[in-house]
């Protein structure tokens, strides 16, 4: 027709392509739903006769559905048909199928629903605007049937040309077109032109002779609208629609969606033939070529999927549907296709597969019982959790009847009835009793969910998740019984409990809470407001803030406050509260307890004054005083000494609970404590002291030695000890001194045979070369002459442990133990300290081993006694309950606070420590006023001062306090103050009333004075104990003095007795070298050189040992040292070797740098450091040494830096020990004593020495001298 011929030929093809797209979309949906994609060509359609009244019925159906669409434009298709079915009875067969008179009706509803069309506008535009047409069939031989007949039709092709949309009778008889719609005006058009949303439609055939021109005009208008809609749909479709001509591969049409799908514009497709093929991912080239070949060959694949490289570089998944277009001669002339980006679907499919695998894994790994039953209650799913609960394996139950296996015969009928009711219910919960494999009854709580298959009811499953609650049920019965006992216990303990629902604000009280508040449950409604009204007015804000802060910070609270009862009585209660939250973090309920502590509070107030004095003494003690519960294995009490000695606050110690000893005590000492000390508590009597030493880990990770003196503090009813009281002192420095002395003894055994220390020297075969008399005596060696005998011959029963140690030492290791128990033949145990180290020949090989041992039993006893004494004093000081501060002066910075500070002022330690005390004063004037009080006390040489001050709590409350401040001095300077604070607010309020009762107050003061005198007497006893321990320490110091005297005697012996023979060896070897060297063979020359070298090294070693020993006797002169001049003299001394080695020396020293210390000691330290720097930069092409200084308010700092060979920092501590070397003598000369002398020199000046180094990058040594 004319109106079609005027259309753009490309757009006509586009309209046809859109129709093809819609058709394929429906087909994909049908395939997805699992329905047969069998075309209507495969159906056998009997001829059906239609009565003329069908026209009337179709019109009625159309009108009914039109009304539904107008009233419900947003409803889905199912709802539409529900309304449609309410029409007259003659309409229903059109929807459901069946017979209408003698006419068989194919169900419209079924076709629509299967096609999954939910867009009502699409239905309206396609079916119901054409409701005046029926469906007809042309058999290809007889032409059009009369209008009173209808036939089933099969469609097999698309509209290819615009004139295919109008079919005449002549065209029909050409047998080229087998599928048509016949409109009211007689036009026959392709089925896809009018829509493809269903497979069966009804077309009304009627004569159209009259008004044909008018109807033709109407058809033109409708077609124009249809083309416009098609254009809009195509241009806005998300999928790319295209047409490609063959065989040139040029694109005739490409929709705008190409930019989103491929990243290329339509114009780029028009300019590049077969552009799709160029975008194919390399992995899919072969597959695409195979599909393309099938398409060209006419083997039309319905669709295929592949990956491309998007223009942006992304890899995407595409789904492509193609149609091969042929001309009348069956020649392929074009390809029409639709390309959809399915990347998201592919990702979703992968995630679904992963979710399926994850779900299956959850089912199998779940501890819950998961069972799946079909409608005949046959077991289809049975997980591992079900196996554990029932005792059956999967293989035993799968495919069998659930009720037969797990229920007794008596209740199977009942369970069948329950099952019929439950089947079909989406979800429900219940409990029942099943029998396990052993026949035992188990109570199971079930949560059941139905999983239904919309296509096949036989595939329905009932999934049940069960939990074995048999034990819980038994416990519930016990809980009910416990509730009765709880009420009785609360009454006895004067403790009640409450619960507040934070959603409904409903408050529940136990009976005891009503009794505490002196209220009747029947006459009082428990609410939060009513509860606050019964709190003392002065405490209401405090209680309210405690509760709100607890809820906000998600932390429980434990507070003491007052109640004001209706009769005016004031009670003290201890309230504990904890709040619970939902998954979103919102508070839902609070629970707590209330305990009447009025009597206890009155008793505490009576003791508070005396406790304040005692606590002050305890907290100012340098020792740790503690109470430890050996039954509960936790620390009950510690004073502030715990932080001084171990670095932990009291709160941190309490949090450690029963792990305090196992976490902090050295493992060796902890085992000893369990095996030796704990049993002593069982036999010790009251008042007896148990003294022991052990190592504890300081907060920074270092080990420190402690001495504890302990006694039984509390016993159980049977008399066995429960708690011990102890005083602990830090004896680390003393231990270090002891170790240093013992180490010196061991080292000196290199060159002497006899010494007071227990020393034995063996050759490589473990034969005795030297042994001290002390060694023989202490180890009770009966045979005095052991020289030359094998070590194992002297000690034939030596344990394998020592034999292993000897082999390791001979291999070059140095092994030692600071404390090792040694059991004698008589059963007594001695404590020993030992060290085994190899000694080397002149060529550097191991020549044997040196064994140093020392009996330290007496020292251990002294350390334990001292530690117990110190811990006793610390424990006593910690009993003071008043708030206590330790304040650094003059900054007035808070260093420590006890728990009582938090209770009184409401602060946590981290909110206070490190801040100024100004935070507790109302204003600057009050803060300055108390500063003047401290200043006046110092000017008047007072050791402490007492004053009353008004302070501010965290919540802003002003309280009156009495502050007792004790001054602590160092070198005449005030460094700290210890302040004990007592809340006297109530006293201030009642002073007027107290004046009226002055007489009774004086009597109370007399009583308290007597109590204080008793406490004073107790403290005197403690001081006496400390004096006794000091006497023991003095005795020990005298013993050390005797040892030092012996060391001096030994030094003199070395100087006079050993150097003379060495000089003789050196002199004669020199004479032999000069006179007979040329007459000797090469082996003799080597021996002579080794003798001279060894004698010279021995001489240097003796000189260094003498210098090391003299440092202890040398006077210490404290003076200003002109450091720049000292360095210049050293550089002048080393100038030759510096010049020879071409060492660049850089100085960064101020003329004003003049540290205070021992000039000789500092000179010795710098000489050794500079000597090391020169020695270890020998092999550097550009050797560099830098000496620099700096200082601040507290210290002088000196450093010596080189770019030499450096060392591994794991050997840092080892290099400062005497004779410790990191290199062989052949590599670098030296005796291994230099850095040990530097370390000792710094210790004498109260200084420090340390190093920083990295292998291959040099070393920097630092010296720090305190001001």
In the chain, the percentage of residues whose pLDDT exceeds 70 is 67
- Of 924 and 479, which is predicted with more confidence? 924
pLDDT at 552: 92
pLDDT confidence bin for 1260, thresholds 50/70/90 = very high
pLDDT at 137: 30
pLDDT at 754: 54
Least confident of 114-123, 355-364, 1231-1240: 114-123
- Of 200 and 957, which is predicted with more confidence? 957
> 891-900, pLDDT tens digit by residue?
999 988 888 8
Domain ranges of the chain: 2-235, 241-250+259-348, 366-468, 488-596, 612-881, 1114-1266
pLDDT at 530: 74
> 84-111, pLDDT tens digit by residue?
455 444 444 544 554 444 434 444 433 3
Is it the case that residue 835 has pLDDT exceeding 80? yes
Cβ(802)–Cβ(831) below 8 Å: no
Q: Is the pTM of this model over 0.75?
A: no
pLDDT at 491: 64
Is it the case that residue 648 has pLDDT exceeding 70? yes
Report d(CA 875, CA 711) in Å as an integer: 12
- Of 1227 and 925, which is predicted with more confidence? 925
pLDDT at 115: 28
Report d(CA 572, CA 516) in Å as an integer: 10
> 40-83, pLDDT tens digit by residue?
333 322 222 333 333 444 444 444 444 444 554 544 445 544 55
> 1215-1242, pLDDT tens digit by residue?
887 766 776 666 677 777 788 888 888 8
Report d(CA 109, CA 121) in Å as an integer: 16
In this structure, CATH architecture of domain 366-468? 2-Layer Sandwich (3.30)
> 542-564, pLDDT tens digit by residue?
999 999 999 999 999 999 999 99
Report d(CA 521, CA 73) in Å as an integer: 62
Burial class (CB in 10 A: 0-12, 13-18, 19+), 435: middle
The closest alpha carbon to 766, from 714, 819, 809, belongs to 809
Class of domain 488-596 (CATH, top level)? alpha beta
Is it the case that residue 696 has pLDDT exceeding 80? yes
Does residue 247 have a cis bond before it (omega within 30 degrees)? yes
Domain topology for 612-881: Beta-Lactamase (3.30.450)
Taking residues 482-486, what's their average pLDDT?
63
| Identity of the highest mean pLDDT range in 45-49, 365-369, 1202-1206 | 1202-1206
Report d(CA 759, CA 737) in Å as an integer: 19
Domains 488-596 and 612-881 share a fold: yes
pLDDT at 706: 92
Determine if residue 378 is left, alpha or beta; phi over 0 gives left, psi from -120 to 50 gives alpha, anything else beta.
Answer: beta
> 1119-1135, pLDDT tens digit by residue?
899 999 999 988 988 88
> 851-865, pLDDT tens digit by residue?
888 888 877 776 666
Taking residues 592-605, what's their average pLDDT?
83
- Of 96 and 692, which is predicted with more confidence? 692
Burial class (CB in 10 A: 0-12, 13-18, 19+), 616: buried
pLDDT at 580: 94
Cβ(60)–Cβ(91) below 8 Å: yes
Report d(CA 1158, CA 1167) in Å as an integer: 14
Mean pLDDT of the chain: 74
Cα→Cα distances 594→95, 493, 515, Å: 74, 10, 11
Cβ(804)–Cβ(810) below 8 Å: no
pLDDT at 921: 92
How far is Cα of residue 1242 from the mean position of the Cα atoms in its chain? 44
Is it the case that residue 836 has pLDDT exceeding 90? yes
- Of 95 and 305, which is predicted with more confidence? 305
pLDDT at 1040: 53
Report d(CA 1121, CA 268) in Å as an integer: 88
| Identity of the highest mean pLDDT range in 110-124, 154-168, 783-797, 1028-1042 | 783-797
In the chain, the percentage of residues whose pLDDT exceeds 90 is 17
> 902-914, pLDDT tens digit by residue?
888 999 989 999 9
> 223-244, pLDDT tens digit by residue?
666 666 767 777 787 888 888 8
Does residue 890 have a cis bond before it (omega within 30 degrees)? yes
Report d(CA 1234, CA 1220) in Å as an integer: 10
Instruction: Give me the torsion for CA of 10, 13, 14, 17, rounded to 10°.
Output: -160
**CATH superfamily of the 241-250+259-348 domain:** PAS domain (3.30.450.20)
pLDDT at 821: 81
pLDDT at 1183: 92
Cβ(884)–Cβ(978) below 8 Å: yes
Domain topology for 1114-1266: Heat Shock Protein 90 (3.30.565)
Report d(CA 323, CA 179) in Å as an integer: 18
Is it the case that residue 582 has pLDDT exceeding 80? yes
pLDDT confidence bin for 1018, thresholds 50/70/90 = low
Report d(CA 1165, CA 1107) in Å as an integer: 12
Cβ(1266)–Cβ(1247) below 8 Å: yes
pLDDT at 159: 32
pLDDT confidence bin for 424, thresholds 50/70/90 = low
pLDDT confidence bin for 515, thresholds 50/70/90 = confident
């Amino acid at each position: 027709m004319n109106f079609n011929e005027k259309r753009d030929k490309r757009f006509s093809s586009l309209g046809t392509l859109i129709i093809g797209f819609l058709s394929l979309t429906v087909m994909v949906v049908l395939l997805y739903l699992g329905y047969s994609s069998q075309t209507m060509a495969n159906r056998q359609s009997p001829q059906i006769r239609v009565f003329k009244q069908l026209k009337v019925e179709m019109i009625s159906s159309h009108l009914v559905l039109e009304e539904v669409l107008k009233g419900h434009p947003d409803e889905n298709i199912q709802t539409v048909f529900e309304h449609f079915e309410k029409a007259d009875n003659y309409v229903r067969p059109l929807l459901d199928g069946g017979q209408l008179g003698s006419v068989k009706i194919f169900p419209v509803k079924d076709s629509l629903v299967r096609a999954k069309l939910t867009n009502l506008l699409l239905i309206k535009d396609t079916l119901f605007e054409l409701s005046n047409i029926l469906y007809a069939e042309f058999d290809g031989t007889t032409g059009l049937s009369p209008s009173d007949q209808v036939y089933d039709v099969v469609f097999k092709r698309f509209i290819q040309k615009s004139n295919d949309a109008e079919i005449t009778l002549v065209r029909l008889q050409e047998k080229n077109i087998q599928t048509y719609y016949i409109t009211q005006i007689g036009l026959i058009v392709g089925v896809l032109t009018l829509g493809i949303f269903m497979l069966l439609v009804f077309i009304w055939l009627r004569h159209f002779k009259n008004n044909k021109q008018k109807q033709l005009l109407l058809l033109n208008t409708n077609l124009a609208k249809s083309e416009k809609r098609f254009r809009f749909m195509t241009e806005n479709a998300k999928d790319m629609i295209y047409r490609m001509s063959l065989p040139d591969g040029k694109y005739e049409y490409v929709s705008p969606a190409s930019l989103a799908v491929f990243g290329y514009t339509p114009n780029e497709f028009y300019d590049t033939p077969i552009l799709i093929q160029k975008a194919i991912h390399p992995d899919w080239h072969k597959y695409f070529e195979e599909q393309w070949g099938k398409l060209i060959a006419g083997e039309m694949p319905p669709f295929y999927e592949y990956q491309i490289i998007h223009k942006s570089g992304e890899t995407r998944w595409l789904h492509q549907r193609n149609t091969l277009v042929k001309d009348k001669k069956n020649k392929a002339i074009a390809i029409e296709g639709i390309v959809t980006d399915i990347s998201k679907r592919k990702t979703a499919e992968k995630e679904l597969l992963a979710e399926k695998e994850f779900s299956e894994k959850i089912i199998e790994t779940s501890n819950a019982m998961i069972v799946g039953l079909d409608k005949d209650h046959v077991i289809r799913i049975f997980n591992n959790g079900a196996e554990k609960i029932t005792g059956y394996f999967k293989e035993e139950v799968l495919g069998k009847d659930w009720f037969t296996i797990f229920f007794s015969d008596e209740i199977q009928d009942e369970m069948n009835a329950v099952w019929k009711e439950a089947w079909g219910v989406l979800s429900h919960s219940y409990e029942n009793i099943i029998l396990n494999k052993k026949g035992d009854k188990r109570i199971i709580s079930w949560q059941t969910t139905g999983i239904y298959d919309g296509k096949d009811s036989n595939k329905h499953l009932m999934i049940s998740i069960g939990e074995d609650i048999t034990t819980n049920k038994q416990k519930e019965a016990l809980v009910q019984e416990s509730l009765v006992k709880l009420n009785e216990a609360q009454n006895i303990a004067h403790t009640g409990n409450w619960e507040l629902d934070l959603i409904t604000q409903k408050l529940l009280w136990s009976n005891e809470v009503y009794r505490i508040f002196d209220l009747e449950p029947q006459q009082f409604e428990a609410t939060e407001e009513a509860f606050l009204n019964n709190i003392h007015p002065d405490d209401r804000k405090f209680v309210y803030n405690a509760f709100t802060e607890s809820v906000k910070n998600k932390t429980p609270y434990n507070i003491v406050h007052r109640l004001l009862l209706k009769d005016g009585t004031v009670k003290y209660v201890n309230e504990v509260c904890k709040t619970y939250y939902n998954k979103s973090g919102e508070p839902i309920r609070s629970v707590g307890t209330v305990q009447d502590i009025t009597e206890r509070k009155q008793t505490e107030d009576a003791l508070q004054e005396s406790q304040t004095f005692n606590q002050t003494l305890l907290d100012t003690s340098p020792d740790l005083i503690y109470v430890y519960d050996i039954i509960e294995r936790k620390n009950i009490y510690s004073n502030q000494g715990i932080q001084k000695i171990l670095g932990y606050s009291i709160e941190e110690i309490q949090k450690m609970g029963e792990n305090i000893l196992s976490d902090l005590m050295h493992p060796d000492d902890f085992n000893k404590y369990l095996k030796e000390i704990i049993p002593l508590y069982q036999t010790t009597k009251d008042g007896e002291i148990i003294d022991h030493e052990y190592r504890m880990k300081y907060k920074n990770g270092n080990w420190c030695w402690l001495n504890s003196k302990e006694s039984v503090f509390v016993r159980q009813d049977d008399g066995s000890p429960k708690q011990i009281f102890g005083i602990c002192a830090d004896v680390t420095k003393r231990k270090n001194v002891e170790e240093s002395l013992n180490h010196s003894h061991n080292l000196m055994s290199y060159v002497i045979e006899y010494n007071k220390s227990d020393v034995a020297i063996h050759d490589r075969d473990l034969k005795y070369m030297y042994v001290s008399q002390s060694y023989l005596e202490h180890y009770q060696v009966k045979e005095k002459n052991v020289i030359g005998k094998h070590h194992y011959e002297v000690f034939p029963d030596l344990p394998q442990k020592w034999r292993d140690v000897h082999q390791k030492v001979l291999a070059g290791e140095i092994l030692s133990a600071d404390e090792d128990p040694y059991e004698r033949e008589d059963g007594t145990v001695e404590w020993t300290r030992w060290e085994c180290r190899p000694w080397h020949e002149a060529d550097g090989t191991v020549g044997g081993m040196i064994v140093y041992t020392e009996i330290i039993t007496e020292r251990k006893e002294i350390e334990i006694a001292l530690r117990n004494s110190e811990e006793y004093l610390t424990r006593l000081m910690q009993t003071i309950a008043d708030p206590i501060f330790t304040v650094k002066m003059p900054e007035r910075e808070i260093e420590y606070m006890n728990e009582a500070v938090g209770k009184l002022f409401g602060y946590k330690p981290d909110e206070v420590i490190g801040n100024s005390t100004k935070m507790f004063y109302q204003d600057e004037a009050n803060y300055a006023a108390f500063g003047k009080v401290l200043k006046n006390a110092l000017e008047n040489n007072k050791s402490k001062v007492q004053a009353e001050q008004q302070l501010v709590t965290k919540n802003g409350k002003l309280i009156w306090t009495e502050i007792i401040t004790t001054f602590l001095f160092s070198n005449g300077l005030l460094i700290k103050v210890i302040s004990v604070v007592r809340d006297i607010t109530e006293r201030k309020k009642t002073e007027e009333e107290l004046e009226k009762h002055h007489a009774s107050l004086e009597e109370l003061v007399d009583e308290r004075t007597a109590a204080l005198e008793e406490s004073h007497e107790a403290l005197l006893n403690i001081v006496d104990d400390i004096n006794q321990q000091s006497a023991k320490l003095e005795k020990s110091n005298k013993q050390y003095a005797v040892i030092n005297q012996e060391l001096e005697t030994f030094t003199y012996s070395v100087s006079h007795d050993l150097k003379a023979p060495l000089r003789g060896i050196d002199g004669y070897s020199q004479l032999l070298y000069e006179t007979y060297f040329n007459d000797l063979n090469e082996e003799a020359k080597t021996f002579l050189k080794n003798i001279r070298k060894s004698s010279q090294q021995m001489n240097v070693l003796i000189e260094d040992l003498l210098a090391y020993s003299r440092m202890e006797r040398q006077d210490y002169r404290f003076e200003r040292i002109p450091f720049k001049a000292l360095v210049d003299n050293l550089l002048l001394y080393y100038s030759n070797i510096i010049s020879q080695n071409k060492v660049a020396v850089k100085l960064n020293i101020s003329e004003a740098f003049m540290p205070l210390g021992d000039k000789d000691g500092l000179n010795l330290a710098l000489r050794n450091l500079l000597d090391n720097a020169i020695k270890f930069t020998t092999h550097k092409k550009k050797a560099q040494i830098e000496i620099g200084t700096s200082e601040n308010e507290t210290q002088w700092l000196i450093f010596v830096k080189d770019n030499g060979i450096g060392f591994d920092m794991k050997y840092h501590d080892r290099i400062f020990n005497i004779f410790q070397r990191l290199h062989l003598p052949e590599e670098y000369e030296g005796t291994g004593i230099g850095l040990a002398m530097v370390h000792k020199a710094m210790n004498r000046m109260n200084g420090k020495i340390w190093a920083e180094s990295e292998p291959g990058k040099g070393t920097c040594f630092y010296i720090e001298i305190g001001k």
